[in-house]
Structure 1
C-alpha cells in the first residue's frame, strides 16, 4: 500500500508556470487529406520542468489519474466485496473482529449507510450486467433484514437519500423493485426527522447545530418521495440559515448556540447544505441564495489556503481521519456546481479532489485487511467514530467520494486527467504565506472572545493555529488547544487531555487544573517578510473540568507566537491576580520524531522525523519518554514516538511567570503522513 506524503519545502525553482496537463478526449480519429504544401508544424509547447522527486513521492500515486477511474477501479469493487459479505453473513456480519450489526455495536447510523453504499452497485450497473439481478435481490434482502436495526439521524438521511436515488432510477416500483412494499412501508414510518427534532418549533433534541442540515435533508427527501408536504423542509432550511445569520458573524458555522466552537464542521456545513439543495433540486429566495453562496465562497477561501499535494484536509478539532480530507472534497464540488469558482479554481479543485480520492485508496484503505483503517497501526479517532462503526465508515466515506465524483462528471470531468503536478504546484506557489480567518468576536466587546484560524505556509507545509474554543467537553482536549497543527509534524490526540504544547496549572488547594484554552482576546497577526507574529491575551484561565469551560480569573495571560521557515516559537506570560500556591505546572510535546538526545538544559534534538529540535524555558525537569506503544499518543494519522515531558514543582505564584518553547523542524523536508 502506497503511503502518500506531504512535502514541506520551498521548491519555487522546480515549479514553473506551465500549461495544464490532461488526457485526450478519446474520440475516433478521422484522417484528412494531406495538403500539397502543408504548413509548417506548430512549435511544440515548452516542456514542463521535471517535478522534484520528493514532491512526486509526497503525492499519492494516482494523483494524475481521472477521479472517475479511481472510483470505478477501486471504490466500487471494495463496496461489492462488503455487499457480498453482508449478504452471506447477514446480521452476523463481522469485520476485523467487530460484529457490526450487534445491538451494542454503538453504530447508530448503519442501516442508512448500508443502504446508500450498496445502492451504488445498482446505480452503476446495467440491467444487462450478469451481476445486476444479484445486486437487486441482495439489496432487497438486506433492506428487509435491517429494518429492526437501530438507525438514527444521519442514518435516516442516508437511507432516504438512497431511496430517492433508486426512485429516480426506476428501482422502487414494479416487481423488480429494490425494496419490497412491506419493507418500504416500514421505512416510511421509521425514516422521519421528527425522531431528533421537536416538531413544535423545529429545535434539535440534544444535538449540535450541524444536525439542522440533516433534519432539513430528511424532510426534503420525504417530500420528494411523496411522504409529506414541503412545509417542514422549508421551515428547517430557514432554521439553519437563521442559525448562520445569528451565530456566524463571519460566515462559518458555530457548532453551538453562540459558545464559539469552530472545527471541521464549521468549514464543511455550508458545503453539505449546498449538496442537499443540489441533490433535491430545491431552490431558495434570491436573498438566501446570495447568503448561501457567500458563505460557500468563504469556506472555499479557507480551503484554498490549505491545499497541498498529498490530499490532506482539516488538521484540528474532532472527527478527523478520512473525514478531514473528504470535507474539502465535498465543499469544492458544491462550489464548482454553484459557480462560485473561477475556471482556474475549478481545475485546481478537481486536481485536489482527485488527490483526496487517491489518498483514500492508498492510505486510509488498508489492502492487507480489506477495510478502511482509522483505528489500528498507530491511528486513533475520537469515540464518536470508534471501530464499532467500521462497516458504516467504509461505506459513508466511499459514498462521499462517489457522489462528489458524480458532480465532477456532470461538469465535464468524467474522463479528464487533473492538471499536471507542475501546474498544481505553481498554483500553490501563488498562495499567501499567512492569513487570519475570523470566525467570531473581534468586536472589542468585553463579553465576547475572538475565534479564528491562522494559516502559515512554509513552502508546501501548511501549519494551522486554531483559536477556536472546544466549548462543552471539547475545550479541555488537545485537538482544540490554541497550538500549531500540521500533518505529520504537530497534532492533537482525540479525546485526550494531556497538556500538548500549552501549560497546565494545578492549584494547591484544588484538584481542578487550569489551562489557557477558552478566553482569547485581541487576536492579531503581523507579517514581516517570511516571519509571522501572532498574539492574543486571556483575561482568565479555563478550569478544565467536565462540561463547559469554567472561567477562573486568578491567572491571566499574554501569548505570542512567531512562525518562520523551519522554526516556531511560543512565549506565554502568566500573571496571578494575587499570590497563589501552585502544586505543579506541566507541559508536554508529543511528536512523531524519535531518537531524542539532550543538548543542554531542557533542550533536545531528534535523530529521525521532521521535528529536529525542541527546547523549553521557564519550566523544570524536562525529559523524553518513549510513547510509541501508548494509545493515548496515537493521532488520526499515526503514532507519536516521543513525548518531551516538563514539570515544575510546587511554588508560590506571586509574580509573572514566563514559559517559552522553541520548535525547530526540517525545512525543506519530506513529511510522510504514514505511521512511522
Structure 2
C-alpha cells in the first residue's frame, strides 16, 4: 500500500479536527485514537457532514427543502414561481414536471405517519396537486416518475383507502396518459430518443403491469431490447448513448445502475444468464467509479448534464451495486462513505440556503440548455428523489443509520487504488475503419484527472466538454454548450467562397489509443492518432461530425505528479491556406503574469504555470464576467488565448503545451 502524503503531526491535526468538527463518530472498526491524523486540506475539501449518517442528512436537510416546496406549490398552484420562473407555464421547457412533482412530494407522505401534525396536510395537498397538474405536459421521464410514485403510494396503502392520495377521476386519466407507447414504437424501438430511454420505457411498462394496468409482455420485451442493445453497442460493457457513434459519458456509466435500480424497485426476476450479464456490466461501472472516489463527493467530470447529476449518478450506481451484492463488504463500507459525501455535498454546495433552491445556473455556475433554469422546480425534486431512494437502499442494508467509516479510513482506502487505468468503451480491434473510445484515469494522490477519448457525436462533438483533453474537478473543466478551443487547437481555413469559413478540430476520429505507465506508476504516457479532423463550421459541418482528411495528427500526453504535457503533430494533406490557428486555456487560477516566450504563471489557484509552443502569440483575458466561461461548479477566472495568424500550412506542425499544478493536492467541493 502506498503511504499517503497527507499526514501531519498528531498534535496539529488533532487541533484542526477539533476546530473543523472532525470529531464526528468514526465508523465501526475505527476507534478514536488509533489512526493517523488527516491533512487539513482534506478536511477542508470534504463536506462538513461527511461523517454524519446519511439518513440524518436526508431527514434534517433534504426532506425540509421538499416540504417548503410542497407548501409553495400547494399555495400558489399553477402560478407557482421560483426565482422569477413560472414553473408550470406552458413554455417552461420541463416536460417531466408533473412526474417529478409526484415523486418528490410522495416522500413527505411516505415518511409521515397518521399521527404526525402535517399528515392530513400532506394527504390533502398531494391529492389537490395531482388534480391540478393532470393537464400539464408530462413525457418520458415524467411518466416514469409519476408511475414510480403511484406504485410506492399503492404499496403503502395510499391509493386504495377511503381517503386516497390521488382522486379516482385523476387516477383514471393517469391510467391512459402514463404509457410507454407515447415514446416507443410498436416494434419496441425508441422514437427519436437516446438509448438511455430504453430503461425508462422498460420501467414504465413494468410499473403499469404492477399497478394492474396491462400485462407483463411489454416490460419483458423492453427489458430484452435493452439488454440486446447493451450486447450490440457495448463491446466492453458500457452503453453507447448513440447507435454506435461512440458517445460514452455520464450516461454510459449510469445506465446500468438505473436498469438495476428499476429491477430492484419493481422486484422483477430475470433469467440467470441475463442477471449475470447485468451484474457484470454493473461491476464494470463500479470499477470506473472506484478510480474516481474522492473526499469531496465529486462525480464525473466530462460530458453533458453534469452539475449535481454528475455526483448523484455515482450514488445511484453504488447503491444498486451494494444491494445486488456486487461489492465486497469493505467496498460497501467505502461506497456508503462516498455516497454520504455526495448527499452532504448536495445539501452544502448545490443547495443554496439564500434562495431556498438548488443552484445549477447562477453565481458563476452553468449547465446544459437541456437542464435550463426553467426546470428549477423539477430539478430540485428529481435530484432530491435520487438521494432519497438511494438512502432507502442503504437503510435496507443497515448502513444509512450509521456514521460512515472515518475520514482517515476512507483516505487510507483511496491510497490503495491504482494510480492509472484505461477503461475501454469501444474499438481497440486494430481495424483500419475502427475508432477507439476509452477513458484514461490518472490519480495524483487524491486528485483525479480524466482523459476521455470519445466522440461527442450528434450535437455535442464540437462542444468542449467532449474534447479529448484532461478534466479534473475545480482545476480543468469544459463549459456546457460552448465551442471555444479549450486545450486543443482549431484550424480555420482562409477560403470563404462558400460562406462561413471552415474550421477543423482534432475530435471524433481517434484510433490506436495506447497507454504506458512507468515502473513506479508515477508517469503515464497516452498516445493516439487521428486520420482526419472534425469539420465543425462551414460547408459540410452540422450537428454530427464531418470527416475532413486534409489534416491528420498524432497526440501524446504525459501525466506526472504536478504536471500534464500534450504534444501534437499535425500533418496537412497538401498545402492549406489558413486564416488562423487558435487554442485557449480557460482556468480557475488567477493573477496571471508572464516571463515571455509564451510562459505564464498564476498567483492563486490549483494550476500555477502554463506554457505553449508552436503558436505565435498569446494574450491573457479576464473571463469572470463571461457566461461562456461558467462551468458546472463555478466561473473560470482567466483565459490564455494563443493563436497564429494567416499562413500557408504545407509541412507538419507541432503544437505543445504544459501545465503545472500543486501536488499533492485534493479537489474540493468548490473552485479555489
Q: TM-score with structure 1 length normalisation?
A: 0.94
Alpha-carbon separation, structure 1, partners of 2:48 and 2:469:
32
Q: Look up the match of 1:502.
A: 488
1:157 to 144, 155, 165: 144
Identify if the C-alpha distance between structure 1 residues 87 and 15 changes in structure 2 by more than 3 Å, giving closer, same or farther. Answer: farther
Alpha-carbon separation, structure 1, partners of 2:667 and 2:26:
30
Larger relative contact order (Cα-Cα within 8 Å, sequence gap ≥ 6): 1
Q: Look up the match of 1:69.
A: 56
Give, in angstroms, the shift of residue 667 of structure 1.
1.3
1:651 to 639, 647, 652: 647
- Within 5 A, what are the aligned runs for 1:92-103? 92-103=79-90
- Within 5 A, what are the aligned runs for 1:420-431? 420-431=406-417
Q: Look up the match of 1:369.
A: 355
- Within 5 A, what are the aligned runs for 1:274-293? 274-293=260-279
Q: Look up the match of 1:444.
A: 430
SS, match of residue 133 in structure 1: helix
Determine whether 1:307 maps to 2:293. yes
Alpha-carbon separation, structure 2, partners of 1:10 and 1:378:
34
SS, match of residue 262 in structure 2: helix
Determine whether 1:520 maps to 2:510. yes
SS, match of residue 473 in structure 1: helix
Alpha-carbon separation, structure 1, partners of 2:556 and 2:27:
52
Give, in angstroms, the shift of residue 413 of structure 1.
1.3
- Determine if contact 1:15/1:426 at 8 Å carries over to the other structure: no
Q: Look up the match of 2:246.
A: 260
Alpha-carbon separation, structure 2, partners of 1:644 and 1:45:
48
Determine whether 1:569 maps to 2:561. no
Determine whether 1:534 maps to 2:520. no
Give, in angstroms, the shift of residue 15 of structure 1.
11
Alpha-carbon separation, structure 1, partners of 2:4 and 2:460:
35
Q: TM-score with structure 2 length normalisation?
A: 0.94
After superposing the two structures, state which structure 1 stretch, 502-511 or 488-497, moved more: 502-511
Alpha-carbon separation, structure 2, partners of 1:675 and 1:434:
24
Q: Look up the match of 2:166.
A: 179
- Determine if contact 2:190/2:198 at 8 Å carries over to the other structure: yes
Identify if the C-alpha distance between structure 1 residues 196 and 430 changes in structure 2 by more than 3 Å, giving closer, same or farther. Answer: same
Q: Look up the match of 2:587.
A: 591
1:476 to 462, 466, 472: 462
SS, match of residue 622 in structure 1: strand
2:206 to 220, 229, 235: 220
2:39 to 52, 55, 62: 52
Identify if the C-alpha distance between structure 1 residues 641 and 12 changes in structure 2 by more than 3 Å, giving closer, same or farther. Answer: closer
Q: Look up the match of 1:11.
A: 5
SS, match of residue 246 in structure 2: coil
- Within 5 A, what are the aligned runs for 1:370-389? 370-389=356-375
Identify if the C-alpha distance between structure 1 residues 45 and 627 changes in structure 2 by more than 3 Å, giving closer, same or farther. Answer: closer
- Determine if contact 1:21/1:419 at 8 Å carries over to the other structure: no
Q: Look up the match of 1:579.
A: 575
Give, in angstroms, the shift of residue 509 of structure 1.
1.8
Q: 1:36-78 CA deviation, whole Å, 9 max, x = no partner?
A: xxxxxxxx88621221111111110000000000000000000
Alpha-carbon separation, structure 1, partners of 2:475 and 2:587:
7
- Determine if contact 2:449/2:471 at 8 Å carries over to the other structure: yes
Q: 1:177-204 CA deviation, whole Å, 9 max, x = no partner?
A: 00000000011111011111112x1110
SS, match of residue 298 in structure 1: helix
Alpha-carbon separation, structure 2, partners of 1:493 and 1:294:
33
Alpha-carbon separation, structure 1, partners of 2:161 and 2:33:
59
Give, in angstroms, the shift of residue 23 of structure 1.
6.4
Q: Look up the match of 1:625.
A: 621
SS, match of residue 635 in structure 1: coil
Give, in angstroms, the shift of residue 547 of structure 1.
1.2
2:191 to 205, 209, 220: 205
Give the number of equivalent residue pairs. 646
Give, in angstroms, the shift of residue 13 of structure 1.
4.1
SS, match of residue 398 in structure 2: helix
Q: Look up the match of 1:32.
A: none
Identify if the C-alpha distance between structure 1 residues 10 and 616 changes in structure 2 by more than 3 Å, giving closer, same or farther. Answer: farther
> Cα RMSD over matched residues?
1.6
Give, in angstroms, the shift of residue 22 of structure 1.
5.5
Q: Look up the match of 1:30.
A: none
Q: 1:341-379 CA deviation, whole Å, 9 max, x = no partner?
A: 000000000000000000000000000110000000000
SS, match of residue 395 in structure 1: helix
**Which runs of no fewer than 5 residues in structure 2 stay unpaired?**
11-22
Q: Look up the match of 1:433.
A: 419
SS, match of residue 274 in structure 2: helix
Q: Look up the match of 1:269.
A: 255
Alpha-carbon separation, structure 1, partners of 2:52 and 2:652:
57
Alpha-carbon separation, structure 1, partners of 2:473 and 2:310:
11
Determine whether 1:341 maps to 2:327. yes
Q: Look up the match of 2:15.
A: none
Identify if the C-alpha distance between structure 1 residues 675 and 370 changes in structure 2 by more than 3 Å, giving closer, same or farther. Answer: farther
After superposing the two structures, state which structure 1 stretch, 407-416 or 245-254, moved more: 407-416
Give, in angstroms, the shift of residue 230 of structure 1.
0.5
Give, in angstroms, the shift of residue 11 of structure 1.
2.1
Q: 1:585-641 CA deviation, whole Å, 9 max, x = no partner?
A: 000000001111111211110111111011110001101100000000000000000
SS, match of residue 79 in structure 1: helix
After superposing the two structures, state which structure 1 stretch, 407-416 or 110-119, moved more: 407-416
Give, in angstroms, the shift of residue 674 of structure 1.
2.1
Q: Look up the match of 2:175.
A: 188
